[in-house]
Chains A and B, each alone.
Chain A
Amino acid sequence: MENLIFGTLEQLSEGLEKKQFSSVELTKAFIGRTHAVDKFVKAFLSFDEKKTLTEAEASDARRSRGQSLGRLDGVPVGLKDIFAEKGQRLTCGSRMLEHFVSPYDATVVKKLKDAGAVLWGRLNMDEFAMGSSSENSAFQVTSNPWDLDKIPGGSSSGSAAAVVAGEVPLALGTDTGGSVRQPASLCGIVGLKPSYGRISRYGMVAYASSLDQAGPLARTTRGVAALLQVLAGADPKDSTCARVHIPDYLAAVQSNEGKKWTLGVPEEYFGEGLASEVKSSVEKAIHFYETQGYVVKPIHLTSLEYAIPIYYIIATAEASSNLARYDGIRYTYRSPRAKDIDEVYDQSRSEGFGEEVKRRILLGTYVLSSGYYDAFYGKAQKVRRLIYNDFMRAFAEVDALVTPTSPVPAFKKGEKTSNPLAMYLSDIYTISVNLAGLPAISFPCGFTNNGLPIGCQLIGKPWEETTLLSMAYAFEKHHPFNLKIPNL
């Protein structure tokens, strides 16, 4: 079974195709692994074994009729607990939605079902995707499988941890300021944040609507590409989902092999605050690209200093409005103490939301409020354009940018919880990508002396996910960091 749970998607798809094992056998392997290790990893918030096995049986039945739906048919996929799946709980890591059961499917969930994927479990996350460590989950703190005392990154904490721990081969996360890439980096797997508008947001609970984007996580670049293939595309239910061409990602990765690109190295991303081990690993990766014949150019992205303040203004403003609907009236937690209508609001929200969520709602309320809107929100939207323009200027010269994903490897649980601002600063390299709506990928590029993974980030032009996947694959082929398995 070891070879199954740590198999790459290519191996799993092939095994199913050749009937070396059934989807039920494969799914049971992951269920068994989850039962064995999740008490340490704590990646899962809930799961429904019966439902999942029913899906696996249906997949096997299809295959035996010769009606396989493709590469993902019969393969287990884990969902961050932020995607609506009909009949399943949808908590967003919040007390507010602890008992909420979704009456409808998210578009991505529908697409996964249509592709035959077996949906395995609801994965832990920072409450409403606000956080970088899973410590903001109302239910549990997920451990980093490489060192259980350390955080796995966040907010797609369970998605990254479950994949690297062998509890599920593929997972879906969301990335608003780095929430797919940072945990992928800290857990040593591949995580992609597609261009804004590439994947439908319908049924994905909103944190900051203009920044949120679903993203695939997998042990390999090609696993990520295969998952992206199924998820990408316009959706009549999401006005912000772009009606643009969807390439064949896996074919593109193949045909791009050996291609030599131009890489930009933004100097601002290698300055103060970057851990030396991370820096040297990423520099080694850059050096590798040079040896492969890539042109490497230093460039400048001077607007980086604004990225964090702008992000926290825009994201919290949108969040303050997006989260207003959780009020104790219709479908959320209602405080049993509430005696009048004002108390229904005030007490349900105060008891139902965790501290970080409340902090961000208050900040977002502040930057939109009368007298402060122009100075904060209005200005931030213009600076956002500045950041976008900065990137576009760089992309006139290079095909992609290469940076560290996170300035530091996985840190200790509890280390940063008392200082929200310090926690915010750890998103410095990922955040501006969301502001500009660009695609970016994080892939493992080494380990620290303590055995913690280090991630390298590639940032691409709008809609150029293929470039990023091809570059990441070029590195991965020569550096099989992704084949290392944590001891659990």
Chain B
Amino acid sequence: MIHSEVDIDHLAKLARIEFDEREREIFSNQLQNIVGYCSKVCEADVENLEPMVHSFSHEDNFWAEDVPEHCEDGVDFLSPNAPEMKEGQIVVPRVL
């Protein structure tokens, strides 16, 4: 079993999630619990095993020819859903 202390504040910062003191307490305990359960994987004997990303092997390259396709006529991909826009650009509070 590995020593795995969950630094909830560090994770929250990385994941860009914030919570109040009560939530912080609950999340912290739950995560500690789940992480403890998950550290069961350490017992597994995985010598000589290749990491598995997908379940089937890709023998051929999956790629497309470099032929430009113009965006579908009239499809506006951004503005119908944008929280704030001006002159075709997304607007956010100033990025430092």
List residues of A whose CB falls within 8 A of some B CB.
99-101, 103-104, 195-197, 210, 236, 239-240, 242-243, 303, 305-306, 308-310, 312-313, 320, 324, 327-334, 338-341, 343-347, 349-350, 353, 358-359, 361-363, 365-367, 369, 372, 375-376, 378-386, 388-389, 420-421, 424, 435-438, 462
Contact = CB atoms under 8 A, between A and B. Distances in A.
29 contacts: A195-B55, A195-B56, A196-B54, A197-B55, A210-B53, A239-B62, A240-B54, A310-B41, A324-B16, A329-B92, A332-B83, A341-B93, A343-B93, A350-B17, A359-B30, A361-B15, A362-B27, A362-B31, A365-B15, A376-B39, A378-B51, A379-B44, A383-B41, A386-B44, A386-B49, A424-B34, A437-B55, A462-B55, A462-B56
Given A196-B54, A340-B93, 10 more contacts: A103-B77, A239-B62, A329-B83, A339-B93, A353-B17, A359-B30, A361-B15, A365-B15, A375-B4, A382-B50
B39 to A, nearest CB: 7
B21 to A, nearest CB: 14
Contact of B17 (A236, A308, A362, A375): A362
A340 B37 CA distance: 38
A182 B47 CA distance: 33
B58 to A, nearest CB: 8
Nearest to B40: A309
A365 B8 CA distance: 10
Contacts of A100: 81
Contacts of B84: 334
A312 B92 contact: no
B92 A344 contact: yes
A321 B49 CA distance: 25
B30 A420 contact: yes
Consensus secondary structure, chain B interface: loop
Contact of A359 (B31, B44, B64): B31
B75 A385 contact: no
Interface residues of B, number: 54
Interface string B5-34: 010101110111111000000010011011
B44 A341 contact: no
B25 to A, nearest CB: 13
A329 B51 CA distance: 35
A328 B81 contact: no
Contact of A366 (B11, B76, B80, B95): B11
B81 to A, nearest CB: 4
A320 B52 contact: no
| Residue among B39, B42, B49, B64 having the largest count of chain A Cβ atoms under 10 Å | B49
A375 B58 CA distance: 27
A136 B53 CA distance: 28
Nearest to A327: B16
B54 A210 contact: yes
B34 A421 contact: yes
Nearest to B96: A341
A340 B11 CA distance: 21
Q: Which 4 A-B pairs have the closest CB atoms?
A: A437-B55, A381-B51, A331-B81, A382-B46
B75 A104 contact: yes
A437 B17 contact: no
Nearest to B55: A437
Most chain A Cβ neighbours within 10 Å, of B14, B39, B44, B76: B44
Contact of A385 (B46, B77, B94): B46
Nearest to A387: B52
Contacts of B8: 362
Contacts of B17: 346, 349-350, 353, 358, 361-362
**Which of B15, B60, B92 is the most central at the interface, judged by chain A CB atoms within 10 Å of its CB?**
B15
